Amino acid sequence: MLQYLVILLDDTSVAYCHADNPLKKRNLIPVETLKKGIIFGMKQNLMIQYVFPDYELPKEYVDVLESIDNIKIYPINHKSHVLIEEDNVSDVEVADFIPEKVESKNLVLRLKFSEILAKKDEISKLFGNDFRLNICITDVEKFTDKDIIKYQELLKYWNAILLNLYKESKTPQINILTDRMLLDKMHNCDAGVNNITLAPNGKFYLCPAFYYDEKTTVFNQLNHHKPSSDNSVGDLENGLNIPNPELLKLDHAPLCRNCDAYQCRRCIWLNRKLTWDNNTPSHQQCIMSHIERNASRDLLNKIREIGEFMPEIDIKEISYLDPFDVRKEF
């Protein structure tokens, strides 16, 4: 069921997930389109998430933006452009470098895998603060089996730091390590299922990455029928029209519905890019998510040596990193 409407306020709105935003030319959403988008969200009972660019929006937009309860996703160091409510715990700052100061309660840190390895200590300094850290690896497709040990060792290293924080009675939230400890079912991106994106052109997309691809004609060969760069799934005039919507859902993903790497993003954009199917994860995504899952299991066990912690959560020991390798056992 749809719960969120993501509105890209500009073509250059900040990328906040796996896909980089290749669009460099400003293209602000027309204010009438914005108003219609908000009305759409209100009528569908959707929480609106605005995604901001790195420049200040014209004054006439401010009242429109604030005409409805919302969550703001914005580039770090540009808070002044965004009119943040000081007590809003849901707003999200996005950085593609390690920031010195974080002002919101949520930080998305977007880095390449090699950058994360190289800056593991700097990143770990963000752990003990009063915000949730979402680490987003932006080159998942380049992850190889040779990187497995590197990633396992990195998470082991961070686990030791996190354990000390727990010993200090802190409750750090690092998506790739602590989310799985709290989850008893899949908690994924669910683009097209629980959230949908409205682009400045007034059309809906499964997520911003599909809009970027349309604008740059990536995946030209993968569109519905005859080659076309149209990735949209409806527009404000005619409403949503997601073809094969069931094929975005967990119960139609044979690998994922049997999986317990509950913290996995299950990024359908990456799925489509790497496996050519929206609902089939790549080897890379599965491997990385299982390394994280296993590290979460280790962390959970270590925390339980200190005292009782999430007794209802059970993360079993498993012998594989890619569920594809054991698919016949499902």
Indicate the residue among 243 and 307 with the shorter CB distance to another protein: 243
| 247 near another protein, judged by CB under 8 A | yes
Please identify, using beta-carbon distances, which residue of 222 and 313 lies nearer to another protein.
222
Residue pair 284/274 in contact by the 8 Å Cβ criterion: yes
Stretch that binds another protein, among 103-111, 178-186, 190-198, 249-257 (CB under 8 A): 249-257
Q: Which of 255, 264, 299, 321 binds another protein (CB under 8 A)?
A: 255
Structure-block tokens of residue 224? 């519905």
Considering the complex, what minimum distance in angstroms separates the CB of residue 272 from another protein?
A: 8
Q: Which two tokens stand for residue 178?
A: 């602590």
For 135-164, b/e burial (b = at least 16 CB within 10 A) is bbbbebeebeeebeeebbebbeebbebbbe
Tokens in use for 312?
Answer: 């209802």
With 0-12 / 13-18 / 19 or more C-beta atoms within 10 angstroms meaning exposed / middle / buried, residue 27 is middle
Residue pair 9/34 in contact by the 8 Å Cβ criterion: yes
CA distances from 6 to 30, 204, 221, 253 (A): 16, 9, 26, 24
Angle at 244 between CA 240 and CA 248, to 5 degrees: 90
Binding mask 258-297 for another protein (x = CB under 8 A): --------------x-xxxxxxxxxxx-------------
97 secondary structure, DSSP code: S
Question: At its nearest, how many Å lie between another protein and the CB of residue 192?
Answer: 11
Is 252 a binding residue for another protein by CB under 8 A? The answer is yes
Per CB under 8 A, does 26 bind another protein?
no
Stretch that binds another protein, among 47-55, 159-167, 242-250, 310-318 (CB under 8 A): 242-250
Residues 71/49, Cβ–Cβ less than 8 Å: yes
Residue 41 CA to chain centroid, in angstroms?
Answer: 21
Neighbours of 241 (CB within 10 A): 11
Return the number of the residue (7 or 193) whose C-beta is nearest another protein. 193
| 187 or 283: CB nearest another protein | 283
Site for another protein in 181-240 (CB under 8 A): 221-227
Work out the angle at residue 267's Cα, subtended by the Cα atoms of residues 299 and 25, and round it to the nearest 5 degrees: 120
Contact call for residue 71 and another protein (CB under 8 A): no
**Would you say 182 or 274 has its CB closer to another protein?**
274
The least distance separating another protein from the CB of residue 141, rounded to whole angstroms, comes to 9
**Which part of the chain contacts another protein (CB under 8 A), choosing from 6-14, 76-84, 246-254, 288-296?**
246-254
Q: Which of 79, 254, 298, 313 binds another protein (CB under 8 A)?
A: 254
By the rule CB under 8 A, 250 interacts with another protein: no
Chosen residue from 58, 243, 307, 311 binding another protein by CB under 8 A: 243
Handedness of CA 152, 158, 160, 162 (dihedral sign): negative
Nearer Cβ to another protein, position 267 or 295? 267
Q: Contact positions toward another protein, by CB under 8 A?
A: 221-227, 243-244, 247, 252, 254-255, 272, 274-284, 324, 327
